[in-house]
Amino acid sequence: MMRKNWKEYKIKDIIEGLFDGPHATPSPSETGPVFLGVKNLNEDGRLDLSQIKHIAEKDFSRWTKRVLPQENDVVFIYEASLHRYGLLPHNLRCCLGRRMALLRLDKRQVLPQFLLYYFLSSEWRQTMEQNVIVGATVKRIPISDFPKFKLSLPLMEEQCRIANVLSDIDAKIDLNNRINTELENLARTIYDYWFLQFDFPDAAGRPYRSSGGAMRFDAGLGRDIPVKWEVNTFSELIAEYKGGDWGKEAKTGNYVKHVTCLRGTDLDGLSGIADLSPPDRFILEKNSHKILSAHDLIVEISGGSPTQSTGRLGYVSEYALNRFNKPLICSNFCKALTLKDSAYFYYFVMHWKKAYDQGVFFNFEGKTSGIKNLLFDSAMASIRVALPPRDVVLKFYHLLNEFDAKKQLNLKENTQLANLRDWLLPLLMSGEVTVGDTQ
């Protein structure tokens, strides 16, 4: 299809330079500029800086000898995890990691925001696939040939209009994500204040410990806790378990129950901390008892890595269920559990995640055939938890339930916005729809 006022270029016609990162990895550092890696670029063209590696200041000049990344540079991955791009924001001090390259654009020819979206189009994806070199282990794009790749661009005015439409959608997604991050931080702050510092509101609404609330020493926990609090193990709080299932990819024989299956990698996405893309599966009708309900908790019992233990936790709130069109199950590498009293739902979640962040679950791991397994029963019987009175924890439940309602609405809206963006992008890039048609 011919596109009015679009012109064909080669990459070299629209850039001031193309640079790749050093073919090495610097020594790790706790602080310093960001060392951009493969995990920092998402498939939807967004930078993900939730988990970053740093480079020491003393090494920074050496790692930026080829190029010092700056605002509106386009970065991309040219080996292994192809089709990932990002646009560098203002004031991000960073250097390129391995398998990553950078385009410094001629902004008289191309708008950086437009080029980012163009790189996400099926037209450009096809161009990349036509130039892939299949190596011994991974696919890669020859950087030396990249400047010769062809692309089509409209006039600058049209580039701006298209980029504005798509970036407005992404801006709303970013805003929702920022709101959710703040809600997550606020939940942790309240949990810490109420249940680690013990300044939950007493009967008069005053902070308990700061107002002279009575404390007692618990030998099992090795610390003081409020006098009316009990101490139990995780296992004493759990009413029942549900096993995981993997079923079949397609409807086959008696595998007819259509479900969405949550894997370990999907658990953080339930609360919006990470991306969520669980597969649809078909399970046996007789296994419908494995379908998850509101207030179920999901634990990853197999997997992990040398730096990440098993025991990741995800939770299914009543609002999270509304994000899915099909019943939910967890995979057979996970286990679901239901508490005896759902009032303790969010308290249990926060306490578990605190233990996980502190590395407690590394102490309860076995290994078979190279895969780490959580010694679940042993962990549940060994990890002790101080239990607030029900009236206190119920106040906490209502607070966090309100937070979760907002978070899940934002996440559902983000899915709808992303679908809209992904629907519009190929239409705009093909010229089939113009910006005037979208308004």
C-alpha 319 chain-centroid distance:
18
Q: What is the pLDDT of residue 437?
A: 53
Reported pTM: 0.86
Say what percent of the chain tops pLDDT 90.
Answer: 82
**CATH number of this structure's domain 230-387:** 3.90.220.20
Give 323-370 as a DSSP string: T-SS-EEE-TTEEEEEES-GGGHHHHHHHHHHHHHTTGGGGGEEEETT
Question: Per-residue pLDDT for 391 more than 70?
Answer: yes
Which whole-number Å values give the CA distances from 402 to 387, 405, 406, in the listed order? 22, 5, 7
- In the numeric block, the tokens 């706790």 are attached to 30
CA dihedral 353, 296, 324, 267 (to 10 degrees): 30
Question: Per-residue pLDDT for 1 more than 60?
Answer: no
Contact between residue 93 and residue 99 where contact means Cβ atoms under 8 Å apart: no
Q: What is the pLDDT of residue 432?
A: 82
Say what percent of the chain tops pLDDT 70.
Answer: 98
Q: What is the pLDDT of residue 2?
A: 52
Q: What is the Rg, in whole angstroms, of the alpha carbon atoms belonging to the chain?
A: 25
Question: Per-residue pLDDT for 203 more than 80?
Answer: yes
Contact between residue 56 and residue 15 where contact means Cβ atoms under 8 Å apart: no
CATH topology identical between 7-153 and 230-387: yes
Question: What value does the mean pLDDT of the chain take?
Answer: 92
Token pair belonging to 339: 């508490």
58: which residues sit within 8 A by CB, 6+ positions away?
Answer: none
Question: Per-residue pLDDT for 368 more than 70?
Answer: no
At 239-254, the pLDDT tens digits run 999 999 999 999 999 9
Mean pLDDT over 214-230 rounds to 95
- Tell me the domain boundaries of the chain: 7-153, 230-387
At 140-197, the pLDDT tens digits run 899 999 999 999 999 999 999 999 999 999 999 999 999 999 999 999 999 999 999 9
Token pair belonging to 289: 């008892």
Q: Which class is domain 7-153?
A: alpha beta
Q: What is the pLDDT of residue 369?
A: 66
Angle between helices 390-430 and 112-119 (to 10 degrees): 90
C-alpha 363 chain-centroid distance:
26
Q: What is the pLDDT of residue 119?
A: 96
pLDDT band at residue 136 using 50, 70 and 90 as cut-offs: low
Contact between residue 292 and residue 348 where contact means Cβ atoms under 8 Å apart: no
Question: Per-residue pLDDT for 438 more than 70?
Answer: no
Q: What is the pLDDT of residue 137?
A: 76
